[in-house]
Amino acid sequence: MFSKILIANRGEIALRVIRTCKEMGIKTVAVYSTADKDSLHVRFADEAVCIGPPSSAESYLSIPKIMAAVEITNADAVHPGYGFLAENADFAEICTEYGVKFIGPTPDMMKSMGDKITAKETMIKAKVPVVPGSEGLLKDVKEGIKISNKIGYPVMLKATAGGGGKGMRIIWNDDEFQEGWDSARKEAAASFGNDGMYVEKFVEEPRHIEIQIIGDQYGKVIHLSERDCSIQRRHQKLVEECPSPFMTDDLRKKMGAAAIKAGKAINYEGVGTVEFLVDKYRKFYFMEMNTRIQVEHCVTEEVIDHDLIKEQIKVAAGIKISGKSYFPQMHAIECRINAEDPYNDFRPSPGKINSFHSAKGHGVRVDTHVYAGYVVPPYYDSMIAKIICRAQTREEALTKMSRALDEFIVEGIKTTIPFHKKLMKDENFRKGNFNTGFIDTFDLGEEPSE
């Protein structure tokens, strides 16, 4: 087992990793920017190294700064968390060169999923269902139009370097193709420095359902059931839950088996997530694979009662996975609390938290790095807390979440709490009647006056 892990991250995920390391008897090293000097991850780690000024590029994204911290503290493994360097193949490679274990997949596994066309080709070979479309890169508009007529409009034009909605266009007919092609390519070139495009059938009103997997170094891959992440706004997830209200035992078996095939196809090692689009007929299609621990991993932890960070560290240390895939034993739902104003286009709302009272009680878990007096810096992601509620049934979990949101107090900044309160009481949401378009038409109503 590792003796000292450096956590190359900040916020709640850095704290989350520190907690598990403590329970496993592993020493921890925090790294922090000057903007985070008063953060809890700095206080709770055994050692802490300042790695630069507030800007991410000069701190949490700086490979030389992080490697210097690894060197001076003698850490024997690095946990990247999510975001920042978590899916940076160069960073994983450099860690290996330095003789420190990168807790995650190998650079090859990361690269094979980072390029969407390569990922799709790998899935076709592995017999994982994909959305019908072009094979490989599109040469030009002419080829794109020809394929679109074959599969039938509407189609979606996507950047091979994309993900998260950038460089993506819905196209409804031949006449729209050229303009969509030009604008999507320009966006992809600017965002990723790669303007390679592919096209596929547009799946209408899909649900976003992902399967958590874990693989060990000996070729074993199991799944840990699904998370429904259809409640998103501009490709930012707001709520995640398990079981998906749309799931059936039969569909879970099929999607679980497909996710395992996806993992095995690349000899996947570590925790990963296979994202699927699921249409109204419950047909599912591979979308992308995330080769990292995700924000919403807690939902899975609550329904299968296992610590995923612990499992991740164990497989990284070469321990074998024992046992079979896991099916949900409970219902869990997570609301992301962001320092944003839901009544003003979710604009970031950094600043000082004057008073803070966390929700508590049976079945309520709050993962957060903030406290009364904490100043939310403007430089990073705006998530300040995750509330995860679990109960025997979805109905009870939603009721518990409403209650938890009601007793959660954050003063001094705007948060997404009022949004979640309204959502938990929405009739269609409660019925499980939603897809990825739900938030586009959701009416938050007027801001309540104090």
Which residues does the annotation mark as catalytic? 292
Q: Is 280 in the site for ligand MV4 (CB under 6 A)?
A: no
Among 52, 104, 107, 206, binds ligand MV4 (CB under 6 A): 206
**Least distance between ligand MV4 and beta carbon 434 (Å):** 11
Fill in the per-residue mask, 218 to 257: x = in contact with ligand MV4 (CB under 6 A), - = not in contact.
--------------x--x----------------------
Stretch that binds ligand MV4, among 77-85, 194-202, 265-273, 327-335 (CB under 6 A): 194-202
Which is nearest to 223 in space by CA: 231, 233, 215, 235? 215
Stretch that binds ligand MV4, among 53-61, 181-189, 198-206, 320-328 (CB under 6 A): 198-206
**Least distance between ligand MV4 and beta carbon 114 (Å):** 13
Of the two residues 269 and 288, which places its CB atom closer to ligand MV4 in the complex? 288
Find residue 275's DSSP bridge partners.
210, 288
Fill in the per-residue mask, 145 to 164: x = in contact with ligand MV4 (CB under 6 A), - = not in contact.
-----------x------xx
Site for ligand MV4 (CB under 6 A): how many residues? 17
**Least distance between ligand MV4 and beta carbon 183 (Å):** 16
Q: Is 203 in the site for ligand MV4 (CB under 6 A)?
A: yes
Q: Is 134 in the site for ligand MV4 (CB under 6 A)?
A: no
**91 vs 61: CA distance, rounded Å:** 10
Q: Is 209 in the site for ligand MV4 (CB under 6 A)?
A: no
Among 27, 208, 394, 414, binds ligand MV4 (CB under 6 A): 208
Q: How many other C-beta atoms can be found within 10 angstroms of the C-beta atom of residue 307? A: 16
**298 vs 245: CA distance, rounded Å:** 18
**50 vs 66: CA distance, rounded Å:** 10
Which is nearest to 20 in space by CA: 329, 317, 247, 356? 317
**39 vs 31: CA distance, rounded Å:** 11
DSSP states of 417-446 = HHHHHHHHT-HHHHHT---TTHHHH----P
Taken in order 118, 120, 124, 127, is the CA torsion positive or negative? positive
Tell me the CA distances in angstroms from 39 to 20, 117, 190, 333, 388, one per residue in order. 18, 40, 34, 27, 22
The SS3 of residue 274 is strand
Of the two residues 76 and 200, which places its CB atom closer to ligand MV4 in the complex? 200
**Least distance between ligand MV4 and beta carbon 202 (Å):** 5
Task: Read off the DSSP letter of residue 37.
Answer: T
Q: Is 184 in the site for ligand MV4 (CB under 6 A)?
A: no
- Contact at 8 Å (CB) between 271 and 304? no
Among 7, 40, 131, 255, binds ligand MV4 (CB under 6 A): 131
Residue that is written with structure tokens 């966390």 in the block? 358
Q: Is 200 in the site for ligand MV4 (CB under 6 A)?
A: yes
Which contiguous run of DSSP H or E holds residue 2?
none
In the complex, the residues that contact ligand MV4 under the rule CB under 6 A are 131, 156, 163-165, 200-203, 206, 208, 232, 235, 277, 287-288, 436
